[in-house]
Structure 1
Amino acid sequence: MTVNEKLYFNGDIITLEDDLYVEAVLVKDGKISKIGKKDDLLQCACKDVEFIDLQGKTLIPSFIDAHSHFFGYANSTLQVNLDEAINFQEIGDKITNFIQKNNIEEGVWISCNNFDYNALEEKTYPKIDFLDKIAPKNPLVVSNKSGHNGLFNSLAFKELGIDVNTPDPEGGKFFKENGQLTGYAEENAYIEYVQKVPMASTEDIIKAIGKAQDAYASYGITTVQEGMVVSLLSDFLLYIANSNILKIDYVGYADIRESESILGKLGDYKKQYKNHFKLGGYKTFLDGSPQGRTAWMRTPYEGEPDYYAYGTQKDEELKSKLEQALKEDMQILVHCNGDRACQQYIDMYRIAKEETASTNDIRPVIIHAQLLGEDQLDEVKELNMIPSFFVAHVYHWGDIHIKNFGMQRASKISLLKSAEDKGITFTLHQDAPVIEPNMLETIWVAVTRTTKNGVSLGEEERIEPLEALKAVTKNAAYQYFEEDTKGTIREGKLADLTILDKNPLKVDYEAIKDIQVIETIKEGETIFKR
């Protein structure tokens, strides 16, 4: 039997354990066999050990994606990317070029992603007549970056059975002018129907999955998340898992409303990996996005003294879901951006724990937690909840948040330092495909807190690079109940490793965003190399 051993040396090796640095790491059969002095490790290595000279580069535990939508990211490669569109004309040009370049036939659905009217010159969304003009023969859906609102053209409404008489679902709405649909829908009105849009072919999706894996690996990530598994998606996830095409670990969280159906299909993957896939728990959401002014707030939005946005669930509905998760010993992730949504989660989780008398440690996660208030942190700590902060919002939408909330409130978005000071375990994420799963950019934002317009937003909530690095490695492993196998460089753990061209703990803070991922290693095998 051939023994696969590799000895890493001659670089900064950051363990994220008590002894922060070691001289060398010995990897054997996909696991970290020994760490310590190079000469000592040579005594343990076989004669055919492969020497990996880091040449001054930095070896760290690989990054762990604490929250994203991997399938959505893969699917986005099959869509029209509107990320760089600055006005209606460019949106139209991009969609028209996509139709022509790909010879899209009449009647085939066209999906667009990364739409953000805040970034457009018009500062509003195009209406349905514009959408009908650029795609007159194809159903068209345009998804906002946040994933919480979007646009449909007339053919899309027709295919989905939506007309002016379609009632707004609770926690969402279709927008109308003069009794006619404008094409715009938000929250449940959008989410419910966009999930009914037909998927691409299996062959195309498999290729897209491969591209997505390569993209995540290029960012140094070896564990990814499917942040909302609906019943329709579970069949495809089962196919992916059984096809042995995954080279990174993939953790899904089932829409708790469809838990019975999803567990009926993915029960063999419940809380255990098979072929790199597992079902980690449940997911639900309570509000929208701060940049879209749909995050549910305790204080009103700027310019609208009576507008706080709204929640998506009643207290009893949420409490019932939390009780289910506790009784079944299943982790639950709850999307909460606004502080009012966070408070609803905190209150209902406390009551659910009391009424079930459950002692199960489900490590409940507050997804995004962007406007979680300082006064709420003590309760978060007491209940052992894990905030997973979307801190890169400070850079990407910080200027919008200042307009929506005012400088004082916007400065308190993503309370990293306050959470750290209270001893709260937190993680950081990118919510891909909302933005790229760029962990080094996220670390940079957590450390500098500067907006796109160069505004310093919440200096007192900056954290040191070491704490930011822990949040996307060690803490993220804990969030997944995988702290015994991932997240640090320790003997016995998986050899999930990333090599960087520079040490993020030693460079100037501004230079962190420019650090390059040189190589990504999953269980001892290279899955990306620059």
Structure 2
Amino acid sequence: MKKIFYNGDILTMDEDNLFSTAVLIQNGIIKKVGLKEDILKFKDERTELIDLEGHTLMPSFIDSHSHISSFANTLRFADLNNIDNFYDLINSLKEFKSKHNLSNDEWIVGFGYDNNLFKDSLHPSKEILDKVSLSNPIIIAHKSGHMGSCNSAALKILEITENSADPKGGIIGRIKDTSIPNGYLEEKAFMSCASKIPEASLETKKNLLIKAMKIYASYGITTVQDGFTTSKEFDLFKEISNSKDFSLDVTSYVDIKDNKETFDDNIFYFHKYINGLKIGGFKLFLDGSPQGKTAWMTKPYLNSTDDYVGYPIYDDETVKSLIKYSLDKKAQLLTHCNGDAACDQLLNCFEEVIDNSKNKETYRPVMVHAQLVRYDQIDKMKKLNMIPSYFIAHTYFWGDTHIENFGVKRAFRISPARTTLRKDVPFTFHQDTPVILPDMLKTIWCAVNRVTKSGVVIDDSEKILPLQALKAITLNAAFQYSEENTKGSLAEGKLADLVILDKNPIKVQFDDIKDIKVLETFKEGVSIYKA
């Protein structure tokens, strides 16, 4: 069946022919882009005419980094976003227990608290969480996903005691001047707890993942990422793929450290979508969170004791071996780096591996987040054909925290999109969902305005224009996935992955971009969301 879109702003993302007046699609493919009077000549009795009524049609958005499986999982947890005091935190967890009729020995799990909103930026202690329940084990995850807190009952089940040593790449919080755990767990100490928390049933997991896809679609997204996939998660994806329940394209990046076999065992998914699922490559973590003060820096955090700079997850030899492994597999490597020391480690290790290899191809590696990347490191990325994927919404959500943690000079350089543009290095934007919702238009607003919650402008010189920001979530994102021939713009032969917006992002006032509404989202010509 044919569809013709007309009577609105049609934004193609092709700068040589940025606007059109009509688009013809057929069997999920864009057939013609051009003038309305020319396109209407292809109309027949099986053609559906879609009047845009003055709204804007453009290519749908592409998520360049998030964790859809983790996001789906959080949908069954207590929502702790935007809570700014321990009293409300305690009550929210109590209400969650009551609402879900949890017995006195069932786990209570929460997600999304931000210690930076609490007095003195303190994390909840076990004493705070014990006020919710002494019998229910409780674990709550920080918004970044890199740390969290437990109550006494959870610590007992997790077997974390005063005799427990800090794991490599993680910290167990202690009561001052003792070795007694205070409930706070950081990085590897926190992440290792997940395996001991009861999982949802397979049917529940499938339903949550399908629900998560609908949420992404409501933000105009048709290609989504699972940015750290274990064997269990990939098995779940295959279940849904086999039943043909994927409404979006999902690209999985396999945990390169502990789940390599998932890649080899499912090699036929590599670089090829099967019922909406493909493997894009591998994912590696090198440090933590800047707002959580676990990002690895070359210079100390402001007002830190003992010149604290955060810490790495792996030594150089381990990183080089993992980079080499990904290159030997000819697979793209996505690497989490927030602090500039972690960025140095990735770049230096990549350079050394490439220099010592006969294979000089780097397969479009991605530096994920790159929050505090230095300008000289952008030059190194260019030489390696490495793509920075910026979590640019940090300017709004944690810009004030970065000023407090790093001082004005370093904080103002976070997500340096304008400098990256000047250096002719392609970049993408993401939301790291579930850290924040996959609101692409809010992200565009952040890139264009660079203003914090308190109203501080995070370096005027790093602002970019709306069209440049839109490229980061369309054309550039398609390039990051090596899908530039099928996605990212409205062009003949590409997939009819489309979004209708109530206003044109490049024509409204800059401050109004965040208020633009997604009216409808199409995946290969099929409507998958309608407001």
TM-score, shorter chain, exceeding 0.5: yes
Residue deviations 1:241-278, cap 9 Å, x none?
Answer: 22221100111111101343312543332221111011
Deviations 1:209-246 (A, max 9, x none): 22211111110000111111123323222222222211
Q: What does 1:16-27 correspond to in 2, within 5 Å?
A: 16-17=13-14, 18-27=16-25
Amino acid across the alignment from 2:423? K
Distance 2:298 2:228 in 1: 26
2:476 counterpart residue number: 475
1:112-123 equivalences under 5 Å are 112-121=110-119, 123=121
Distance 2:298 2:22 in 1: 51
Write out per-residue CA displacement over residues 182-220 of structure 1, whole angstroms, 9 at most, x where no aligned residue: 110111111122244222122222221222111111100
SS at match of 1:356: coil
| Counterpart-to-counterpart distance in 1, 2:405 and 2:59 | 38
Looking at structure 2, the residues matched to 69 and 184 of structure 1 have their Cα atoms a distance apart, in angstroms, of 23
Whole-Å separation in 2 of the counterparts to 1:77 and 1:420 = 36
Match in the other structure for 1:193: 193
1:97 to 95, 98, 102: 95
Aligned equivalent of 1:216: 216
Kept in 1: contact 2:254–2:260 (CA 8 A): no
Unpaired stretches in structure 1, ≥5 consecutive residues? none
Query: What CA distance in whole angstroms lies between the structure 1 residues aligned with 2:261 and 2:150?
Result: 29
Larger CA deviation: 288-297 vs 34-43: 34-43
Equivalent residue number for residue 10 of structure 2: 13
Q: Which residue of 1 aligns with 2:340?
A: 339
Q: What pairs up with 1:376-395 in 2 under 5 angstroms?
A: 376-395=377-396
Instruction: Tell me by how many angstroms 1:9 deviates.
Output: 0.8
SS where residue 121 of structure 2 aligns? coil
1:78 maps to: 76
Moved more, 177-186 or 255-264: 255-264
In 2, the alpha carbon distance for the partners of 1:259 and 1:125 equals: 31
Amino acid at match of 2:396: Y
Amino acid at match of 1:334: T
Q: Secondary structure at the match of 1:506?
A: coil
| Matched-pair identity in % | 45
Give the aligned residue type for 2:10: I
C-alpha change, 1:381 and 1:284, in structure 2 (3 Å) is same
Aligned pair count? 527
Q: Which runs of 4+ in 1 moved over 4 A?
A: none
State the match for 1:48 in structure 2.
46
* Residue in structure 2 matched with residue 182 of structure 1 by the alignment: 182
- Partner SS for 1:134: coil
SS in 2 for 1:42: helix
Residue number in structure 1 paired with 2:467: 466
Deviations 1:438-479 (CA, angstroms, capped at 9, x unpaired): 000000000000000011111110000001000001100111
Match of 2:35 among 26, 34, 37: 37
Following the alignment from structure 1 to structure 2, what is the Cα–Cα distance between the partners of residues 161 and 362? 42
Counterpart position of 1:313 = 314
Counterpart for residue 297 of structure 1: 297
**Alignment map for 1:26-425 (pairs within 5 Å):** 26-121=24-119, 123-177=121-175, 178-304=178-304, 306-425=307-426
CA distance, structure 2, for counterparts of residue 14 and residue 348 of structure 1:
41
Task: Find the residue that maps to 2:49 and give its secondary structure.
Answer: strand
Aligned partner letter, 2:3? K
Indicate the SS of the match to 2:95: helix
Distance 1:164 1:478 in 2: 50
Deviations 1:468-524 (A, max 9, x none): 000001100111111111011100000000000000001100000000001100000
TM-score (norm 2): 0.97
Deviation (angstroms), 1:122:
5.1
Q: Counterpart in 2 of 1:500?
A: 501
Q: RMSD value over aligned CA atoms?
A: 1.3
Could you tell me how far apart the structure 2 residues matched to 1:190 and 1:281 are?
25
Instruction: Name the SS for the 1:519 alignment partner.
Output: strand
* Partner residue in 1 for 2:488: 487
User: In 2, Cα distance between the equivalents of 1:12 and 1:242?
Assistant: 38
Equivalent in the alignment of 1:511? 512
Is the partner of 1:11 in helix, strand or coil?
Answer: strand
Contact kept? 2:445, 2:514, Cα under 8 Å:
yes
Q: Deviations over 1:378-412 (max 9, x none)?
A: 11111110000000000000000000011111001
Shift of 1:357: 2.1
| In 1, Cα distance between equivalents of 2:204 and 2:162 | 35
Is this contact kept in 1: 2:160–2:181, CA < 8 A?
Answer: no
- What is the rounded CA distance, in whole Å, between the counterparts of 1:507 and 1:392 in structure 2? 20
Residue 520 of structure 1 aligns to which amino acid in structure 2?
A: T
Give the match's secondary structure for 1:7: strand
What SS does the corresponding residue of 2:363 show, helix, strand or coil? coil
Preserved CA contact (<8 Å) 1:15 1:488: yes
Which amino acid letter does the alignment assign opposite residue 174 of structure 1? I
In structure 1, give the amino acid aligned to 2:335.
V
Work out whether residues 498 and 521 of structure 1, in 8 Å CA contact, stay in contact via their aligned partners in 2. yes
Residue 47 of structure 1, CA deviation:
3.2
CA contact (8 A) 2:331 2:363 kept: yes
**Equivalence for 1:431:** 432
Query: 8 Å contact 1:231–1:258 — kept in the other structure?
Result: no
8 Å Cα contact 2:125/2:150 also seen in 1: no
* Letter of the structure 2 residue corresponding to residue 462 of structure 1: K
- d(CA) in 1 for partners of 2:8, 2:360: 44
- Opposite residue 111 of structure 2, the aligned amino acid is N
Alignment CA distance shift 1:106-1:276 (3 Å): same
In structure 1, C-alpha distance between the alignment counterparts of 2:278 and 2:133, rounded to whole Å: 39
